[in-house]
């Protein structure tokens, strides 16, 4: 296969490998403990682990886009903010 159309840099590969790793970890977690532990959090909707992962990934994308568009600092700070967001989502949503 020819993947020359994609800019396969180390950060790009790390991004996709992280997403893959998260999906595999969630699949193993679901296999070990089925059901997803649904609960109602601050959004007042019932969410499972998969829902919270999706909300985390979506929010992290917006955090990174916001840092790219409005803040002139290193993107590692956006990653730190995304990790804080992930902890918040999995704890309170």
pLDDT for 91 equals 94
Range of weakest confidence among 36-40, 50-54, 84-88:
36-40
For the chain, the average pLDDT equals 89
Mean pLDDT, range 58-85, rounded to an integer:
93
Please give the full DSSP string across the chain, using - where no structure is assigned. ---TTS---HHHHHHHHHHHHHHHHHHHHHHHSTT---EE-TTSSEE-HHHHHHHHHHHHHHHHHHHHHH--S-THHHHHHHHHHHHHHHHH-
pLDDT, residue 7, reads: 72
pLDDT digits 0-9 by tens, 71-82: 988 888 999 999
Q: State the pLDDT at residue 23.
A: 92
């Amino acid at each position: 296969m020819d993947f020359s159309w994609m800019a396969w840099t180390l950060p790009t590969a790390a991004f996709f490998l992280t997403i893959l790793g998260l999906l595999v970890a969630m699949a193993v977690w679901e296999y070990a403990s089925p059901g997803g532990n649904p609960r109602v959090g601050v959004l007042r909707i019932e969410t499972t682990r998969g829902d919270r992962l999706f909300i985390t990934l979506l929010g992290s994308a917006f955090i990174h886009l916001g840092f790219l568009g409005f803040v002139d600092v290193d993107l590692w700070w956006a990653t730190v903010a995304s990790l804080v967001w992930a902890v918040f989502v999995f704890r309170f949503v």
